[in-house]
Structure 1
Amino acid sequence: MLRMFSTVNGQIERIERPTDGAWLSLTDPTDAELASVSQESGIDLADLRAPLDDEERSRVDAEDDYTMIIVDIPTVEERNGRDWYETIPLSIIVTENLIITVCMQDTPVLHPFMEGTIRGFNTYMKSRFILQILYRNATMYLRYLRIIDRESDRLELKLRHSMQNREILMLLELSKTLVYFTTSLKSNEIVMEKLTTLSRIKQYPEDEDLLEDVITENKQAIEMANIYSGVLANMTDAFASIVSNNLNNVMRIFTIISITLSIPTLIFSMYGMNFQQGGMLGMPLTGNRWGFLIVIVVSMLLSAIVTWFLTRSRLFR
């Protein structure tokens, strides 16, 4: 999808044809849209296609007529009723007259710019626009990191009494997401450092505070990702042990039940054998009127004693 915007009388408006100072937003573009923008702006078609590869690395490329900045942005995808977080590339291409963004998905990073809700946003101010996108990107990372932290807390409560692998696998997925976030944020930090020394991107005095805010937010996101990643790694190991202990407790109960039931089983099995009546071969109490009841009471008493002993034995604690 190709959408064009321009600032008119201080308001962001959508336009049909590119003009000087316009912003062209390409989202999951078709080949025809890419060819049209390439012909209109003089940008190499391969550079326009670069961010459509989800493995594209963050970098800054300075060509003769334009400068291309590729950064990783966070995105959320719903799968099996759950949100999964990952990163995808976003390209910002600056020419003499235009600024062009290319992304494989419709990202919420750019939505406020299209809606005109970003304070001080002007399509003509390309340097500020780039910094505003980077600032918005860093805040999105922080937002998703807080969501991941709350999700890990929710999983922690479930894992306290869980004996299933589902929650642990979800923790592993969150850990993998944090690794992706950390790697992308560090790559973006390198891009920001290059931008501060790139002569093509003019640095205006009024944008110095915004640049400092961008760098600060990105560093904060890196620190949060590292902290959460370490916490999740320790939590995963701890709860893997908890699940194993819970399983051991269940097996302990089953073992006590099995040993307890084996006593009356043994007694009744012996009484079920064929013995001759009378003499030394007869079973005790076989001739007693209350023999059957006495055998049951004795077996139950022995089972109770064994159960009491096993539940207090160190072997089953």
Structure 2
Amino acid sequence: MMTIYSRNIGQEMAKVDALTQNNWIEMVAPSVDEIAQLTQELSLPAYFLEEATDKNVRPKIESEGANQLFIIHLPYSDPNVAHSGLDIKYRTIPFAIILTGTHFITVCQEKTPFTAQYFMEQNLNFGAAYHTQNTLNILNQTADDYIVLTQKIENEITAAEDELSRSYRNPELYTLLYLNESLLYMATSLKQMLYTMRKIEQDGILEMHRDDREIYIDALVELEQAYAVTEINQLNSNNVMDAYGNIIQNNVSHVVKLLTAVTIVLSIPTMIASIYGMNVPLPYQDEPEAFSILIGVMVVMSVVVALIFRKKNYF
């Protein structure tokens, strides 16, 4: 879907039907026809939009003439996954920014936080003079989103640890496994994002004034912090999985040992009852106290075996 926005006379964000001047073009899961239309109308390099819609593309910067393509990764929470124990809930998705003339274009296959409301709240304008400010604001907000998501994953890891300490089951380990996968996605994307951010400064791709540079530095610092926290959480998650994997194995071994001991204790009266239940002549079968004696023998033997197992810590 392609939506074209423009600022009206009152500086309010308004949708327009056709390209004018100083537009923001929002493309969410664009169709082939929309991509072809935009490429033709703005004389964009075809590969710009091809890479912008590639779900496997890495963060990068491309330039051709006056046109520039920025691809970053956004932290993404999959709405189709209700809980981290069911599948990988937290991922990263490519988000493209294309700067061409007076037009500011964003492309993503999913809905993002960068909506018309976001631009209104940030009081951002459109046009060539605002390309740097808009791009840096998006990078800064993305860095904030990474920080928030890493904290959320950290809280879920802590909750999974608490649950694991009381559980003999595997679902909690799957939760940690999927969270670890999420951290892997984030660590990979953040490392590439940091490379892209440094390339912006080294190559002078965006002309930054003093205020713009402050936004850039803030975004860079927060991305570095998010990357460091992600690595720490990933290491912690791996350690927790290893530790609790061993704990669960020990717990299962203890349960099996207990059940085996109980089975042996119960097999004694079962064996005696089975023998004296046979339809053949048996010793003392005509004695009037035979039943009571058998019950007593069963109880004594079971108690003796149970005490032996108790002494060996089988119970």
TM-score in terms of structure 1 length: 0.89
Please list, as runs of the form range in 1=range in 2, the aligned pairs for 1:1-317 lying within 5 A after superposition. 1-8=1-8, 9-79=10-80, 81-82=82-83, 84-108=89-113, 110-111=114-115, 114=118, 116-118=120-122, 120-124=123-127, 125-272=130-277, 283=283, 285-314=284-313, 316=314
Which range is displaced more, 227-236 or 139-148?
139-148
Question: Aligned Cα RMSD in Å?
Answer: 2.1
**One-letter identity of the residue aligned with 1:149:** E
What per-residue deviation string (whole Å, max 9, x for no partner) do you get for residues 182-219 of structure 1? 00011011111111133342111121211111001101
**1:273: how far off?**
5.7
Distance 1:92 1:255 in 2: 64
Q: Deviations over 1:110-134 (max 9, x none)?
A: 126555112x422231101000011
Computing the radius of gyration over CA atoms, which structure comes out larger, 1 or 2? Answer: 1
Distance 1:303 1:45 in 2: 83
| CA distance 1:306–1:58, shift in 2 (3 Å) | same
Cα separation, 2, equivalents of 1:273 and 1:95: 95
Are the equivalent residues in 2 in contact too, given 1:256–1:311 (CA < 8 A)? no
> Structure 1 residues 240 and 221, CA, compared in 2 at 3 Å: closer, same or farther?
same
Provide the C-alpha distance between the structure 1 equivalents of 2:296 and 2:133, rounded to a whole number of angstroms. Answer: 89
Structure 2 unaligned spans of 5+: none
- Are 2:3 and 2:27, in contact at CA under 8 Å, matched by a contact in 1? yes
How far residue 40 of structure 1 moved from its aligned partner, in angstroms, is 2.0
Number of residue pairs the alignment of both structures matches:
308
Please report how far the alpha carbon of residue 80 of structure 1 lies from its aligned counterpart in structure 2 after TM superposition.
5.2
Alpha-carbon distance change, 113 to 60 in structure 1, aligned in 2, over 3 angstroms: farther
Identity of aligned residues (%): 27
In the alignment, structure 1 segments of 5+ residues that lack a partner are: 277-281
Quick one: distance in 1 between partners of 2:145 and 2:19?
Answer: 29
Partners of 1:200 and 1:212 lie apart in 2 by 15
